[in-house]
Homo-oligomer: A and B are copies of this chain.
C-alpha cells in the first residue's frame, strides 16, 4: 500500500529530528494508525522530500527522524489555470483535479457570465486552499500548488503579462495547444477557462488584444468543469509528461 505523506514547514524539515503536530499528528496517529519504526514521507512543499522513521508518538505530537532528504527539480513547464468562477461544488472539484494534474497555481476570476466576485464569502478561498493542500499531499506533489486571491476581469487580464504564453479554451475552435506552443520549453503557461456560456464578444476582443491564443480542445463541447483538466492533459502530453 502507498506510503503516508505529510507536509511540514521548510524550517522543520531542516532538522534531523522533526515534530508533527495538530491535524497531521492526528492523521498519522489515529487515522492511519502508524506505529513506531514505520517509514513515512515528509515534504516541505518547496521541493524538499525526505524519508523519515517514526520515533515517538505522543498525545499531541509525533517525532520523526529524517533518514534521507532530496531536493526535487522544479516542475517544467509552469502551468497556471485562470478559472472563471462557476458553481461552488464544481469549483471544489476543479481545485482537486488541477492539483492532481500538476497545475502550479489556480487564479479564480470573475467575468460577465461567471459568478460575481462578491458572492465568494469569507471562507471560500480558504476552503479551496485546504482542498489544494490535502489533494497535493495525497498526490505526493513536492511543490505545493497555490490558490491565488480571486481577481476581477480587469485584474485577470493585467496579470496575464507575467506569463510566456497564454491559451484560452474556445468552443469556436482554434489551433491545437501543441501547435501554439511548438518546441518552446521551460516556460510559464497561463490557461484560461471561461464560464458556462462562454465569454462575451467584448471579453473575447480583450483576450485577443492581450495576445491570448484561442485553442480547441477537440470536436466535442466540454463543460467548464473539465475544460481546465483537459487543457492541462493536452499540455502535459505535448511536453512528454503524460
Residues of A at under 8 Å CB distance from B?
1-2, 96-97, 100-102, 138-141, 171, 176-178, 197, 217-223, 226, 229-230, 233-234, 236-238, 240-242
Query: Is the beta-carbon distance between B101 and A220 smaller than 8 angstroms?
Result: yes
Residue of B nearest to A135 (CB): B223
Query: Is the beta-carbon distance between B178 and A220 smaller than 8 angstroms?
Result: no
Query: Is the beta-carbon distance between B139 and A222 smaller than 8 angstroms?
Result: yes
Please indicate the chain B residues that have their CB under 8 angstroms from the CB of A2 in the complex: 171, 221
Q: Which 4 A-B pairs have the closest CB atoms?
A: A233-B233, A237-B237, A139-B220, A218-B242
15 residue pairs of the A-B complex, CB under 8 angstroms, read A2-B221, A97-B226, A100-B223, A100-B226, A101-B218, A101-B220, A101-B226, A102-B218, A102-B220, A138-B223, A176-B240, A177-B242, A226-B229, A229-B233, A234-B237
Query: Is the beta-carbon distance between A139 and B221 smaller than 8 angstroms?
Result: yes
Closest chain-B Cβ to A219's Cβ sits at a distance in Å of 7
Residue of B nearest to A217 (CB): B242
